[in-house]
Amino acid sequence: MKKLGVLMAVAVIAVAFLAAPVTTWAGGTVEGKVSFSGKPPAPKEFLFEKFPNPKFCVKNPNKDGKGEKRLLHEVQVGKDGSLKNAIVAIEGINDEKFVADFKGQDIEAELCEFKPYTTVVVENQKSFRVVNTDEETVQVEVKKEGDQIILKDLEMDPKDKKFKERKVNASDTIHTETGPVRGADLKPGDKVVIVRGVLHNPHSFKVKGPSSATIFNIALPEKGSKLDKPLKPNSPKVGESVFKMQCDQHEFMQVWALPVSNPYYAVVGEDGKFEIKDVPAGKYKLIAWHPALNKGKPIEQEIEVKDGASASAKIEFK
């Protein structure tokens, strides 16, 4: 009986051990803040009238008080010095599965602006996606040449210095501000306000110092137009180059991206703060990068991560 009692006690202890929660540590956390000291650079200015679609692009809130210039705020600094849009990343970990499975972030062309301004990519990324969400209303005059109907803009394109023309057929559906009509319903001399897409032309580059090489260059002419392309040839590489995309129609539309090789990164928000979780224990190089600061080069600092603990970092751009 005594032996049986001991066995039962052991069994109860074993069951209790299995039922109890097991605490495990999956790496540590790196947290901190990115700031900017001094007077931030002034935004770049672009006259709307020198670019296509000036009456539409002026709807973007990033403009001067008169609504004549588009402002590109490359460096955005809060009242407390917090720096927005920097990217903080851990270097020295090559996660092949992460790179292979990386989906990336969809880029939207909205009100003549690419969003977000900064993001990350991986080398030879399989899918980089952009969608055009812009359309505008334009007044046109209806003309006719043989069997074809021509819709001629009543205002000159500021970039090409020409009056744009679009040829349509009698059976085509034309979208106007009052609803769809058939081409056959339009008469020569009619003046009609049509709804059409705003042409954006995402042109991406691998940027290495002062040199750059094209990755893709594709037109998105209509609202809802999309591109889905791999980042090759000329893929940017970790520690060697960065990614830039600019609209060939509207120079102020830009996206910048830092190549990474693992999931341990953060895109800094308006408060300048960042948090990178589940970083494997070890000593690493922590980098902070902003495309318009420090000559495009990252700021580096050494950091040690311990299981179940937080490591803090303060990063300052000047």
Tens of pLDDT along the chain (318 residues)? 444 444 444 444 444 434 444 334 579 999 999 999 999 999 999 999 999 999 999 999 999 999 999 999 999 999 999 999 999 999 999 999 999 999 999 999 999 999 999 999 999 999 999 999 999 999 999 999 888 899 999 988 877 788 889 999 999 999 999 999 999 999 999 999 999 999 999 999 999 999 999 999 999 999 999 999 999 999 999 999 999 999 999 999 999 999 999 999 999 999 999 999 999 999 999 999 999 999 999 999 999 999 999 999 999 999
Which strand ranges, in their side-by-side order, compose the sheet holding 242-247?
A: 118-121, 254-259, 242-247, 202-208, 211-217
Give the Cα separation of 272 and 175 in Å (integer): 44
The ranges assigned to domains in the chain are 136-197
Give the Cα separation of 49 and 70 in Å (integer): 10
Contact 210, 216 (CB under 8 A): no
Structure-token pair, residue 168: 């349509």
Residue 11: which H helix or E strand, with range?
helix 2-19
**∠ at Cα 237 (250, 110), nearest 5°?**
25
Local structure of residue 211 (DSSP, 8 states) = E
List residues bridging with 47 in a β-sheet: 69
